[in-house]
Chain A
Amino acid sequence: MEKQGDLVQGTLDMLVLKALARGAKHGYAVAEWIHESSNDVLHVEEGALYPALHRLELRGLLSAEWGSSENNRRAKFYSLTAAGKKKLMEEAEYWRRMSGAIARVMQTA
């Protein structure tokens, strides 16, 4: 059985891109943002988060830079590249279509 708060498969990349849409964040802030924006429903484990961040960086969708955090410690900040912005738009559009279609199917009596 799926655990409560597990992500639909394949959506983590999209959520990470979305989390960074409004500017650079470090890994912990990305996880927090997703957690909070989902009204505490979604929980991203670091075991999934960092591999996803690194994979997206490797694919050229994110760029990473070291900077200092709110509490003045060195942290790795990720931000969207042009390719990342484009990808986010595509993913969002695809998600909108899919979730709408699934909702319609589930609403049929």
Chain B
Amino acid sequence: MREKKLETRESEESSLEAFGELAMKNWARVKALFRRKQLEKDLDEELAFHYGDARGKKRAAGVAAEEAKHAAQREFGNAMRVKEICRELWSFASLEMLWRDLRYGARALAKNPGFTVVAVLAIALGIGVNTGIFSVLNGVALRLLPIPEPNRL
């Protein structure tokens, strides 16, 4: 039921609007590419401010020193995670991951030239044999003779 409700709601929103939002998002990400350092600094500062305020409030409420220390450690772990998520939001995460995978693949191949040669040869042989057999078959069996009504021959 919930699913259905959500669907009708989605269709109420014009697709143009959704497209505009997507374009805006990606444009913001493109701009973010050129100010990575600034974004990183902003993120640090933003979270530092948050924890500063949170600590101030706790201290005002009279939290013990030991507990405050643990809280600070917890917060540090959280901050790392929060930053990670935000960083992903501002970048083309899946594209970047794909690019990293490709580079990793290339590096692995370059490191094992023997393996690479064998793999390339195997693929080349496979493609070559396939193409060869197909061209022969194509010429001999698949193509019809260049005359009208060849089936009456």
Contact = CB atoms under 8 A, between A and B. Distances in A.
A31 to B, nearest CB: 8
Interface residues of A, number: 22
Q: What is the predominant secondary structure among interface residues of chain B facing chain A?
A: helix
Interface in A26-85: 26-28, 45-47, 50-51, 54-55, 57-60, 66, 69, 73-76
Q: Interface size bucket, B side? A: 20 to 34
B46 to A, nearest CB: 5
Contact of B29 (A27, A58, A60, A94): A58
A47 B46 CA distance: 13
A59 B25 contact: yes
A51 B52 contact: no
A69 B5 CA distance: 42
Interface of B: 5, 9, 21, 24-25, 28-29, 42, 45-47, 49-50, 52-54, 78-79, 81-82, 85-86, 89-90
Interface of A: 26-28, 45-47, 50-51, 54-55, 57-60, 66, 69, 73-76, 94, 98
